[in-house]
């Protein structure tokens, strides 16, 4: 019985499972979950916006996004040329799958999605 136990231990120690997981991504390579372009917003980050953020909403790359949240699955877009009384654009909140990536990383950049 002990020889069978020793054999099993030896088999588990010598076997090395092959890892097919991709290389770990650093947090600086993936955009934040929530980001806005309005400087008055608490989710504004000028340094990240300067890198360039690509947004894919419902499978289409969009360039008119005012704010997004990946985990909640929504984006805000400007509603035409209408402004509120403070001069801010009126926005619509659209629901759907959202993906974001940094454009400065080029092709194959890590994509943040829910």
Closest C-alpha among 89, 82, 73 to residue 41? 89
Mean per-residue pLDDT pooled into runs of 10, the chain (114 residues):
51 47 61 95 95 95 96 96 93 97 88 87
From residue 34, alpha-carbon distances to 6, 14, 97 in Å are 53, 45, 14
* pTM attached to this predicted model: 0.73
What was the pLDDT predicted at 106? 83
What was the pLDDT predicted at 28? 78
Three-class DSSP category at 55 = strand
Instruction: State the DSSP code for 88.
Output: P
What was the pLDDT predicted at 15? 46
What was the pLDDT predicted at 27? 58
Q: Tell me the C-alpha distance between 11 and 112, whole Å.
A: 39
């Amino acid at each position: 019985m002990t020889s069978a136990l020793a054999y099993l231990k030896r088999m588990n120690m010598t076997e090395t499972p092959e890892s097919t997981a991709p290389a770990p991504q650093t947090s600086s390579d993936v955009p934040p979950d929530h980001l806005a372009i309005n400087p008055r917003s608490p989710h504004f980050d000028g340094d990240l916006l300067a890198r360039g953020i690509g947004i894919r909403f419902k499978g289409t790359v969009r360039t008119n996004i005012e704010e997004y949240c990946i985990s909640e699955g929504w984006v805000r877009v400007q509603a035409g040329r209408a402004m509120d009384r403070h001069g801010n654009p009126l926005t619509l909140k659209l629901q759907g799958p959202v993906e974001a990536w940094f454009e400065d990383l080029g092709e194959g950049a890590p994509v943040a999605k829910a």
